Structures are given as structure tokens and as C-alpha cells.
């Protein structure tokens, strides 16, 4: 069975056919899905899906794009939401200096608030980073020095240097359909080298559909295509990669297990 470690089931493109998307995922062998939020207004909705669907779990967080809209995100508020039995992670949060949709200092403040919540709640942090490698690595290293916490770099598109820095801090690395894109040569080099016990797979649905679904709306069933591609890239059977990534998910997101 596969795990889609990062999807957005309440987003446009999936929410209107959520039942169908879930059925197709199950038919494709997806046994667990983690439904991610990006703003506070989504928290109730992602939790509701997780309450209704036994194979769906929820994460609560504020995306860096939304940092300006949530200028006073509090660690205590995040921790309180984590008390819900179906909330198994915090995020997504992080730094995005590519679009700069929010003030960078506000992104940094929000990121650290999420890290503090992950540490206090004992739940893993789901990290978004784009064009902010040095800041992301430095922030994570600084915060790990204050006290341990676990996490994953979701939808990894960074350099080998970032991967090594995050692995050294104990983080997991998750690959989306981007690794299947024809121009993702450097990313595939990284994907070959991530240790088997630190690897996760995801769709980030409804975005980033993998080959052979490029141009279509992405959905959790497509994590199987990314898994098959990664298995070939790493020279292992897809069944083995499914077992490894499922075990990794259960180890990291222990509350879901």
C-alpha cells in the first residue's frame, strides 16, 4: 500500500469530486492520505474530512504565502488544534522567497512559531521551502539546537546540499510528481541518494501531476505513478519502495499509526 504524505483534498479541483478521488486512490493502492491545510480557515475542513474518512489524517498550519494574512499566528493556537486525535502533523509552513507573497520577516516569524508548536506538541513539522535554501537550513539548524523536533521537507526540489543539511538534522525528504518531469535531472540525482529510511512520496494534489498525467488535475491515486518512477530510478521493486515509504510515514507521523 502507498501513502500520499501530502495532498489538499479540500482544494478546488478535488473537493467537488472528493468521494471519487478517494475511491480512485484506494483502487490504486493508496492506504493513507495526509490532508494538509495552508490557512487557519481550512483547519476545520481538513479535520472534518479526517473524522469522516478512516484513511485520511489532517495537518494544521499556515503556508508562507499566507503569513501576511495571519500576522499573529500563535504557537499555543497550533498546539491546541493538535490535541484533536486526527491531527498528526503541523504545516505546511516554511519560507517561500520565489513568489514573495508575504513579507520575509513575517514568514520567518511564522515558521519559528510552527517549529515551536511541533516541538511542544511532539508532532512532525511539514516544511515548504522555495528559493530560500540558506534561510531554511539555518533556521532548522538553529531551532534543532534549542530542542529536538521531527519533520519532512515536502515536495523537495532543492539542491543536494539542502538535502544533506536536512538529513543531517534528522529530517525526511518527500518527492512529488516533479521528480518525473523531463527536465528534473538534478532532482533525480538527489532522489537516488536519499536513504531508504528517510524517503517519503506525495502528490501535493491537486497540483503537480506526475508523468503520465502531466497537464491534468493531480489526485492522490497518482502517488502510485511517482512511486513506480522512483522505484525504477533507485533500482528497487515498487513493492519494496511502497513498504519503505509507508514504514517511514508511520515512523514520522507516529500518531497516525
Q: Please give the annotated binding residues for a divalent metal cation, written as ranges.
A: 6, 8, 92, 128, 154, 204
* β-bridge partners, 22: none
Cell of 74: 500563535
Q: Write the CB contacts of 164 (distance below 8 Å, at least 6 apart in sequence).
A: none
Q: Which residue has the cell 515551536?
A: 116
199 grid coordinates = 524517503
Nearest CA to 5 among 182, 198, 145? 198
Cα 162 off chain centre by: 16
Asked whether the CA dihedral 87, 167, 63, 180 is positive or negative, the reply is: negative
Q: Under a CB-based contact definition with an 8 Å cutoff, are residues 198 and 249 in contact?
A: no
Check the CA dihedral 250-254-256-257 and report its sign. Answer: positive
- Residue 24 grid coordinates: 480512485
Binding residues: 6, 8, 92, 128, 154, 204
* Cβ–Cβ < 8 Å for 85, 62: no
Of 124, 114, 122, 92, whose CA–CA distance to 253 is shortest?
124
Q: Could you give the angle at the alpha carbon of 193 between the alpha carbons of 189 and 196, nearest 5°?
A: 135
Amino acid at each position: 500500500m502507498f501513502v500520499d504524505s501530502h495532498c489538499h483534498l479540500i482544494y478546488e479541483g478535488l473537493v467537488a469530486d472528493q468521494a471519487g478521488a478517494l475511491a480512485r486512490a484506494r483502487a490504486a493502492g493508496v492506504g493513507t492520505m495526509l490532508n494538509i491545510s495552508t490557512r487557519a480557515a481550512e483547519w476545520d475542513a481538513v479535520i472534518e474530512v479526517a473524522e469522516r474518512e478512516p484513511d485520511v489524517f489532517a495537518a494544521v498550519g499556515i503556508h508562507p504565502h499566507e503569513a501576511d494574512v495571519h500576522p499573529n499566528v500563535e504557537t499555543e493556537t497550533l498546539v491546541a488544534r493538535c490535541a484533536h486525535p486526527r491531527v498528526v502533523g503541523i504545516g505546511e509552513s516554511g519560507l517561500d522567497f520565489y513568489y514573495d507573497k508575504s513579507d520575509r520577516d513575517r514568514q520567518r516569524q511564522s515558521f519559528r512559531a510552527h517549529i515551536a508548536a511541533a516541538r511542544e506538541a511532539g508532532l512532525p513539522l511539514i516544511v515548504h521551502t522555495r528559493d530560500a535554501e540558506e534561510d531554511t537550513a539555518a533556521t532548522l539548524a538553529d531551532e534543532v539546537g534549542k530542542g529536538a523536533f521531527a519533520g519532512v521537507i515536502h515536495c523537495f526540489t532543492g539542491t543536494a546540499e539542502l538535502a544533506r543539511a536536512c538529513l543531517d538534522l534528522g529530517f525526511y525528504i518527500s518527492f512529488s510528481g516533479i521528480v518525473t518531469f523531463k527536465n528534473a535531472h538534478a532532482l533525480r540525482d538527489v532522489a537516488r541518494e536519499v536513504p531508504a529510511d528517510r524517503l517519503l512520496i506525495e502528490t501535493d494534489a491537486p497540483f503537480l501531476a506526475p508523468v503520465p498525467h502531466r497537464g491534468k488535475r493531480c489526485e492522490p491515486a497518482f502517488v502510485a505513478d511517482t512511486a513506480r518512477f522512483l522505484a525504477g530510478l533507485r533500482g528497487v521493486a515498487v513493492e519494496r519502495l511502497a513498504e519503505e515509504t509507508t514504514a517511514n510515514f508511520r515512523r514520522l507521523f507516529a500518531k497516525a499509526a
